[in-house]
Chains A and B, each alone.
Chain A
Amino acid sequence: MKINQLKLFGAAILLAFGVSCGEGEVELDGSTYHPKIVIQGYVFPGRKVENIVIMRNIPLGGRIRLVRDSLFLPNAEVLMTAPPDTTRYELTYNPAMKSFEYNGSDLIIEHNRAYRLSVKAVIDGDSLEAEAETVTPQEGFGIVDSLTLTSPMHYRETDPSGALKFFTIRFTRSPNVDSYILSFTALDGDSSTFVYSPVNPFADVDTSDVVKYLRMFKYTNDLALNMPMSPGISEHQVLWFNLWFYGHYQAVVYACDRNFKDFYLTHGSVQEMDGNFHEPVMYIRGDGIGVFGSAIADTAFFTILK
């Protein structure tokens, strides 16, 4: 190998070294933003249409002033229909609740019926439209209090054989519902009632962590997925992993439609383990994201003793 070739090789190595220094950076500059109508709306059989929240999405990049009122779209046109019926029910904005509702008495949500929500709004000068449809659950769902094991229990209490005990909720199923979402709220949850290590085997956190992540610890969810759609009773064990505080807990169980279930399962899980994104499953046509779903709800309460 001649000297010139060696010099060339050395230069190539230096160049390679230079290229392989430094740091890759990824910035958010808002260039990927497209305005969308955000719908958070649920209808419940036997109840009026209310709490239909219509908001806008927000571009990323820089400092975003979330003056909360600015997120809502009080001037949106929100209509509901119940196909095949062509009657249009115009929803009006309730400033106190920051949501839309129907004020008439001629629209009470029924079981096993289709309802369509149509929204029009102007965001950043763009005229946008979105539409979604839900089919409400059939009658049948309800928590069976007499069979539900919610007697007060110590944290991760064991039975005489040493096996862990669980709070268990039993419920009757609705025939056209295959999934049930459970929402747990620690009614007394704060940094003084948190179950700290070493009692808590799942995490070693301190008081400041509890304050910082209070929402995450206080409100937890679970799902009973793909249950039989035949009449009967199902049961669900409440995992200790979902319970982080001593004190009183509220468990709301929803017999949910496909829109609610698929939104719940996918909207918050759009980022994969390698950091990339995939699209959530939302049954909203046009320029909308979010959920327009329906459910039957029932509630149970239990207490974790210190």
Chain B
Amino acid sequence: MRKIITILLVVFLPALSHAQTNPTAAVHGFVYDLSNGEALIGANVFLRENFRGSTTNLNGYFTIPRLTAGTYTLTCQYIGYKTYTQTVTVKAGEKKSVAIRLSPSTIEGEEIVITADSIPKIQQWFEKPVSKIELSGREINQIPFVAESDLLRSLQTLPGIVPLSDFSSELYVRGGTPDQNLYMIDGTDVYNPEHMFGLFSTFNTDAIKKVDISKGGFGAEYGGRMSSILNVTNLDGNRERFEGSASLGLLAARTTLQMPVGSFGSVSGSIRRTYFDQTIGKAIDEIPDYYFYDGNIKGFFEINENNNLTVSGYGGRDVLNFVFNEKSDDKAGFDYNWGNRTGSIRWTTVLNPQLFANFWVTGSYFGSDFEFNEGSELEEHNTLTDLTFKGNLEYYHSKHITYRFGFEQKNLYGRYKQSFPGARVDAGGRRGLYALYGQTNWSPSEPWEVESGLRYTYFDSDKNFQNLDPRLTLKYRLYETVNLKAAFGLYHQYLHRIPRPFFIGIWSSSDRYQKVSRAYHYIFGYQQDVGHAVQLEVEMYYKKYNRLYSLNQNMIVTIRPTGYDPDGTPVYSSSEGMYNEGSGNSMGIEILFKKETGAVTGWLGYALAKTAYRFPEINRNMPYRPRHDRTATVNLVCNTDIRNLLRALKGKPLKNHRSQWLLGTNFTYTSGQPITMPGSLYHIAPTPDGPPATVLYPDEINAARLPYYARLDLSLTWERRFTHWTFAPYVQVFNVGNRKNVWFVQYMEKDINDPDVVVMHTKTTGMFPILPTLGINAKF
């Protein structure tokens, strides 16, 4: 109890030290894009006379409280938009509401100017949380892709985030596994966000307004995951006019439409479907009958100047019908389909100019069905439902202090059923999660900022758990061009995903067999504006994991039935025996150079890292490196406006052209993936009556390394703007160098026609070869 009181005092102490009489006028409101009415996130709003200001939050809201009566010059700046100024007069005690509409600086023929009095980027970086990176929908779509633009694959180009292979869009963030990441669309949790067996994610990039990913050290507002938070905000919709975009690529066709709803709202919707099952799939029997589709819809309604309502939904499905032998009349095979549905209602309200709140009701459903139609009983059904009520409140006490607090109540219901000859699985149940958090953002003096928070969670399972998670971030403005940051946090995780090859993973929760996983984050960061519009960010981190769970590859020998059917068929209902429990740590240093303006934009990242696990059942309880450990990673993402580059080389200012050529470059290098080599060969029969076979016995787990991975992708887009529409055909080449990056290794006997001689050789299977893609985008 004493510990809890001490922690609470530390979190809320700033309020006591700043209990003073303050002026009570305020200026508050929302910042919108003039062209489409979208709320702008991260815009800087300040008063020139006293440089008091703030940055708009995820809803585009800002507030500048505790002002004295007077006349001010309100200024708003946001990259890609013209600076906005307005004279504002407030009387004593008046709360002035302002709606700011920024004009995009994309008028054809005009020069693109970055004004001298823009809020410095280094200041914006100081204000953002530690380890957080933000990307816009446009930045994501500019990164060269394979077949289809993909959010998660784009994030894999950032330092500290690695994929396992070309065939996976999953994120391994600073040594953590994909189930340690929380994925949200408009505040709704998404489980298993994958299409095409993990090749692509369920996020339609055309529907995205903004994405931010916190790679670690995230505040008390978020919990339930140990590694990262991925927050996707979709477009609200164009409040001024009808707008659309359409895209046709090799894999899928998609479209996004936006339109106003009267004068008080807007709606946007996106839909996407693959079509090769209807084209080349019809001509080639070997291509299985597979397709996926997904769609988003979002409505934004302004009830009055202080209240907004947002309703959003997502639905998507993957469908596979596979026949083993097309030539046979007996079409033995299987049907497998899976997908997500989410929905949310969010009420945004300004309770008073200093107190801003969001309240959500969100629902998320994941389901998959597998049936093997061979006549025998072999099927699987997997569902997970999440109904959540949550609220976040922000209280802007003064220019020095902001309080954030909130709650979350999550109701989970999972069911996993599988039946096959000789056994069946029937596991599931209800779980409840209750969380409260409080956080203070406090600036004790000019160069300092302190974010301290506490999150309390109660998890209701067949065994109950409760935990307190402290979070602390310190920021210090060393020089005008240099920031220092440090963060510490404790993170608990109650849900665990069982990864499965080919099949979608299954979620399980902490219970009497699985304790709550825990991670400590320690982060130190350095940020510098190095000039020429380039920012440098260096972060060092250390993460320590306890009660880490990995899938027991030999679980078939450890799982035990919980009961039997009347005919003696074993029934499995718990996760006992499915996991290995261990510990681990990750550490590393990440360096990021980022340039967001000019003819050439993008980033260069380098990461040096090490992750080690220790599980009693693996590698004879000796530490080993997991498969996603990568010692060194280099990422280069570069987007070049060729016409403006040529102008810049001639010393001319940049211009918005009616037509432009855009060159996209993406280069990735990672050191080799850990791999277990076969140690030796031996001859043995599987049963006493069977003939012997040659079998491999493995060496030390993950002690060897595959060759390095490297890949260069290029894209060329010609964008032509007409009066009412834009047309942009593109060509992309994935893996331009056609490097055969090793995916996995098979060890095989060479057929040399001598029964007394064995020649083992390796056969490597590579990841994607050179893959050109053509497509066309249109906006109207």
Contact = CB atoms under 8 A, between A and B. Distances in A.
Interface of A: 1-3, 6, 9, 12-13, 16-28, 32-36, 38, 40, 42, 51, 55-68, 71, 156, 163-164, 166, 181, 183, 185, 197-204, 212, 215, 219, 221, 223-228, 232-237, 239-241, 252, 254, 261-262, 264-268, 270-281, 289-291, 295, 297
B375 A275 contact: no
Given A156-B330, A225-B556, A226-B423, A60 B680 contact: yes
Contacts of B114: none
B328 A198 contact: yes
A215 B693 contact: yes
B757 interface: yes
B680 A58 contact: yes
Interface in B659-698: 665, 667, 669, 672, 675-693, 695-698
Interface stretch (B37-45, B699-707, B723-731): B699-707
Contacts of A199: 328
B756 A275 contact: no
B35 to A, nearest CB: 29
B759 A55 contact: no
A65 B572 CA distance: 46
Contacts of B676: 276-278
6 contacts: A20-B736, A24-B766, A60-B681, A254-B688, A277-B698, A290-B682
B739 interface: yes
Contacts of B698: 270, 277-279
B618 interface: yes
Contacts, number: 293
Contact of A23 (B682, B706, B739): B739
Given A20-B712, A28-B762, A60 B678 contact: yes
B635 to A, nearest CB: 11
Given A24-B742, A66-B757, A197-B325, A226 B570 contact: yes
Nearest to A256: B687
A268 B665 contact: no
Contact of A3 (B649, B667, B675, B690): B649
B680 A276 contact: no
Contacts of A235: 567-568
A276 B599 CA distance: 44
B722 interface: no
Given A20-B667, A32-B677, A233-B568, 7 more contacts: A23-B739, A24-B766, A26-B762, A33-B679, A55-B683, A274-B164, A278-B698
B6 interface: no
A17 B746 CA distance: 28
B222 interface: no
B89 interface: no
B652 to A, nearest CB: 12
A22 B502 contact: no
Contact of A40 (B669, B684, B710): B684
Nearest to A55: B683
A261 B557 contact: yes
Nearest to A16: B667
- Top 9 A-B residue pairs of the complex, sorted by shortest distance between their CB atoms: A275-B744, A24-B707, A164-B375, A273-B501, A277-B698, A20-B737, A277-B676, A32-B699, A201-B332
B134 interface: no
A28 B747 contact: yes
B505 interface: no
A42 B332 CA distance: 38
Interface of B: 164-165, 324-325, 327-332, 374-376, 421-423, 501-502, 553-554, 556-557, 559-561, 564, 567-568, 570, 572, 598-600, 618-619, 627, 636, 638, 645, 648-649, 665, 667, 669, 672, 675-693, 695-702, 704, 706-712, 735-747, 751, 756-762, 764-766
A268 B695 contact: yes
A149 to B, nearest CB: 15
Contacts of A254: 687-688
Contact of B704 (A23, A32, A280): A32
B691 A219 contact: yes
Contacts of B761: 28
A112 to B, nearest CB: 20
Nearest to A35: B680
B374 A241 contact: yes
Contact of A26 (B324, B331, B689, B745): B745
Contact of B599 (A1, A16, A240, A291): A1
A241 B699 CA distance: 33
A60 B689 contact: no
B557 A36 contact: no
Contacts of B706: 24, 26
Given A197-B327, A225-B422, A278-B553, A252 B691 contact: no
Contact of B682 (A2, A57, A65, A297): A57
B566 to A, nearest CB: 11
B677 A201 contact: no
A1 B645 contact: yes
Contacts of A271: 696, 747
B636 A16 contact: yes
Nearest to B709: A24
A27 B747 CA distance: 10
B682 A58 contact: yes
B680 A34 contact: yes
Nearest to A12: B636
A24 B763 CA distance: 11
Q: Which of B627, B636, B756 has the most CB of A within 10 A?
A: B756
B682 to A, nearest CB: 4
Nearest to B749: A64
Contacts of B699: 32, 34, 277
B684 to A, nearest CB: 5
B712 A17 contact: yes
Contacts of B765: 275
B736 to A, nearest CB: 7
Contacts of A215: 691, 693
Contacts of B696: 270-271, 277
Contact of B678 (A163, A183, A277): A277
Contacts of A40: 684-685, 692
Given A64-B681, A234-B568, A274 B762 contact: no
Contacts of A273: 501-502
B710 A237 contact: no
A28 B677 CA distance: 9
B649 A281 contact: no
A25 B763 CA distance: 9
A197 B328 contact: yes
Given A58-B681, A66-B756, A274-B501, A19 B710 contact: yes
Contacts of B735: 20
Q: Which of B327, B686, B690, B706 has the most CB of A within 10 A?
A: B686
B697 A232 contact: no
A241 to B, nearest CB: 7
A279 B687 contact: no
Given A55-B683, A201-B324, A274-B627, A64 B636 contact: no
A58 B758 CA distance: 10
A17 B736 contact: yes
Nearest to B665: A13
B55 to A, nearest CB: 30
Contacts of B707: 24-26
A5 to B, nearest CB: 9
A59 to B, nearest CB: 6
Given A3-B649, A27-B762, A221 B710 contact: no
